[in-house]
């Protein structure tokens, strides 16, 4: 299969077959990650710029580890250490980076559409590592990979996405990808943390968590940012967690063997109870491991796309 895309901007670019191919490639890289020596030479000589204009620990580290395990050279750039901090425009910064001939730029940016903005101006591949509230395709793919490890397919499964949907790129990409893969998705959040036009997404929306969780196979908790409360979208964190914190008793209402995910970093006791985060039902650390598998698969697919065509 040739890979038709230069860039990974969102999961909406992918067909179901593409998404499944990424998951199956991730499976083969998972094997490499279980070896005593976790390094293969398949991207030797390729260079990847990790341009994180917004703070990130796990996504950035995960891409860095993934690149190095494939023998690519990775270079990190943060906003504070870049010319962006001196007022250089995003366009000029990435054109400068491109002039150094990287094979891919992995971009994290606080503005929706930033990845598309640079992708349309660059010849190298652009991997979106999260743009504003818009999309986080590699997170959605690693979440799907994590679930696929537990499940025998997505058909008939129901995933509840819980929390700050309005400001979440993770939620947007997951709604699209899980639906594409055949799962049912439902949302639960206070109305103040939902887009006003959420009705156009075609998924059921709940405001009562006890009702929303009934019968679901997985609950994906989202991180609550303190600034939402400061912006007047919530009374306070205590009241939020009374209504929307995922707890072990609440999970008991879900389907048998239901699991809990969280993209991290977690706020223990806010959106997920501490004991649940550490329980057998929690896949939070599996997600971190899957992140490396999936990002190795993606770097491999996107960086060898030309060789595959020829």
Partner 1 sequence: MSHADLVVRGAAPATGLSEPADLFVAKGRILALASAGSRPVPEGARTVEADGMLLFPGLSDVHVHLREPGQEWKETIATGLAAAIKGGFVNVMCMANTDPVNDQASVTATMLEKALRSHPRGPRLYPVGALTVGLAGKALAPMEELKAAGCKAFSNDGRPVADSELFRRALEYASDLGLTVIDHCEDPFLAPGAGINEGVVSARLGLRGAPVAGEAIQVARDCLLARYLGVPIHLAHISCQMSVEIIRQAKAQGAPVTAETCPHYLVLTEDACEGYDTNAKVNPPLRTRQDQLALLAALEDGTIDVLATDHAPHASHEKETPFAEAPNGISGLETALSVTWELTARGELSAQALVNAWCVRPAEIFGLPLNRFQEGDPADFILFDPSARWTVTPQALASKGKNTPFLGRELSGLVRAAYVAGNNAL
Enumerate binding residues for partner 1 (CB under 8 A).
89-91, 109, 111-114, 116-117, 131-135, 169, 172, 195-198, 200-201
Least distance between partner 1 and beta carbon 300 (Å): 28
Least distance between partner 1 and beta carbon 166 (Å): 8
Least distance between partner 1 and beta carbon 86 (Å): 16
Starting at the edge strand found earlier in the chain, the sheet holding 205-206 runs 205-206, 184-188, 158-162, 218-221, 259-261
Query: What would the two tokens of residue 79 be?
Result: 């906003």
Q: How many CB atoms lie within 10 A of CB 151?
A: 17
How far is residue 117's CA from residue 60's CA, in Å, rounded to a whole number?
Answer: 20
Q: Where do we find the tokens 């910064």? A: 93
Q: Which is nearer to partner 1, 113 or 153 (CB)?
A: 113
Q: Which is nearer to partner 1, 34 or 200 (CB)?
A: 200
Count the alpha carbons within 13 Å of 217 in the hemisphere toward its beta carbon: 17
Least distance between partner 1 and beta carbon 62 (Å): 22
- Classify the phi-psi angles of 101: left when phi > 0, otherwise alpha if psi is within -120 to 50, otherwise beta: left
Q: Which is nearer to partner 1, 193 or 246 (CB)?
A: 193
Query: What would the two tokens of residue 178 be?
Result: 């899980």
Least distance between partner 1 and beta carbon 191 (Å): 13
Starting at the edge strand found earlier in the chain, the sheet holding 47-52 runs 73-78, 47-52, 104-109, 125-131
Residue 5, judged by CB atoms within 10 A of its CB (0-12, 13-18, 19+), counts as middle
Q: Which is nearer to partner 1, 111 or 237 (CB)?
A: 111
Q: Which is nearer to partner 1, 195 or 269 (CB)?
A: 195
Count the alpha carbons within 13 Å of 79 in the hemisphere toward its beta carbon: 13
Which residues are CB-contacts of 187 (< 8 A; sequence separation ≥ 6)?
Answer: 160, 161, 162, 165, 171, 175, 194, 198, 201, 203, 204, 205, 206, 212
Q: Which is nearer to partner 1, 139 or 146 (CB)?
A: 139
Least distance between partner 1 and beta carbon 136 (Å): 10
Least distance between partner 1 and beta carbon 147 (Å): 23
Q: Which is nearer to partner 1, 132 or 269 (CB)?
A: 132
């Amino acid at each position: 299969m040739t890979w038709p895309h230069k860039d990974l901007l969102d999961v909406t670019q992918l067909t179901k077959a593409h998404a499944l191919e990424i998951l199956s490639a991730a499976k083969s890289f998972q094997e490499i990650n279980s070896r005593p020596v976790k390094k293969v030479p398949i991207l030797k000589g390729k260079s990847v710029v990790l341009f994180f204009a917004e703070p990130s620990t796990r996504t950035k580290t995960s891409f860095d580890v993934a690149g190095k395990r494939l023998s690519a050279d990775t270079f990190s750039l943060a906003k504070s250490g870049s010319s962006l901090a001196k007022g250089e425009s995003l366009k000029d910064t990435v054109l400068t980076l491109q002039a150094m001939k990287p094979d891919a730029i992995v971009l994290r940016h606080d503005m929706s559409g930033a990845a598309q903005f640079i992708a349309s101006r660059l010849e190298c591949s652009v991997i979106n590592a999260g743009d504003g509230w818009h999309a986080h395709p590699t997170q959605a793919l690693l979440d799907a990979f994590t679930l696929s490890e537990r499940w025998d397919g997505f058909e008939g499964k129901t995933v509840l996405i819980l929390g700050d949907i309005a400001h979440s790129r993770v939620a947007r990409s997951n709604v699209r990808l899980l639906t594409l893969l055949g799962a049912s998705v439902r949302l639960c959040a206070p109305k103040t943390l939902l887009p006003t036009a959420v009705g156009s997404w075609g998924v059921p929306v709940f405001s009562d968590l006890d009702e929303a969780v009934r019968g679901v196979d997985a609950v994906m908790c989202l991180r609550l940012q303190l600034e939402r409360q400061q912006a007047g979208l919530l009374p306070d964190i205590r009241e939020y967690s009374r209504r929307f914190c995922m707890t072990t008793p609440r999970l008991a209402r879900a389907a048998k063997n239901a699991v809990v995910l969280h993209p991290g970093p977690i706020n223990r006791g806010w959106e997920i109870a501490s004991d649940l985060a550490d329980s057998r039902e929690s896949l939070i650390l599996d997600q971190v491991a899957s992140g490396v598998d999936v990002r190795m698969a993606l770097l491999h697919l996107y960086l060898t796309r030309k060789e595959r065509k020829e």
